Structure 1
Amino acid sequence: MPEPMLVSIAASLATRAVAGLYELVRAKFADDPVATAALAAAEGAAEDSPQVAALSETLERAVQADPAFGAELRAHHAVTQTGRVNNQISGTVHGTVVQAGDVTGGINLK
């Protein structure tokens, strides 16, 4: 049984809720037709569906085969709150960047 985080990532991939995460996995699976098929089959499927379960098992195999991919996948997932906040920053950034889910009160950046 895949670890819970991989199941959560698979569910996020199924809904394409996180574009960057989807692109990361799609690129990793590009040379593997079986993994690519699992990703495609899970698209739009419910979190508790057999398709998402199969995708989470495929992710588990990919992570076991490539620990660096696993670290990148976990790092990407750790900063993403599916369905809530999805900020993507690219290029040179000057100044402060804040990513937040629920904020009670104000934010003052000096």
Structure 2
Amino acid sequence: MPEPILTAVATALATKAATGLYDLVKRKFSGDKKAVATLEAATPEKPETVQALAERLDAASLSDSSFAAALRAEFEVHQDARGGGVTNHVGTVAEGAKVVQTRDVHGNISF
């Protein structure tokens, strides 16, 4: 039986609204066609598909502690964003590149 947090993660994934979370899981599942199919089939209208996804997440988390940590961290970001907070995720930035993190911009931004 998956941990309750994994069921919550699976539910968030099933809504397809948690883009960063969805991308993380899709990358993890990329070598397993059945796992990808489980991810893509999950929908809140069919609780059994959410449960199947939670079970896949549980198995993946148990076998890969780095993935488990990343999954929980990304889920926290998703939860914070749903609460109206500001969430920024900046991946690797090339040397000399420019990045801006902001919430509300009224006007232009230029570098």
- Classify the TM-score, shorter chain: 0.7 to 0.9
The equivalences for 1:1-110 within 5 A come to 1-42=1-42, 45-46=43-44, 49-81=47-79, 83-85=82-84, 87-90=87-90
Q: In the aligned structure 2, how far is the partner of 1:56 from the partner of 1:89?
A: 25
- Normalized against structure 2, the TM-score is what? 0.73
- Mark the runs of 5 or more structure 2 residues left unpaired by the alignment: 104-111
Alpha-carbon distance, 1:48 to partner: 6.5
CA RMSD between the two structures: 2.4
Asked whether the equivalents of residues 9 and 56 of structure 1 are also in contact (C-alpha less than 8 Å), the reply is: yes
Provide the residue aligned with 1:103 in structure 2: none
SS at match of 2:44: coil
Higher relative contact order, chain-length normalized (CA < 8 Å, sep 6+): 1
Q: Which runs of 5 or more structure 1 residues have no equivalent in the other structure?
A: 99-110
TM-score, length-normalised on structure 1? 0.74
Aligned positions, number = 95
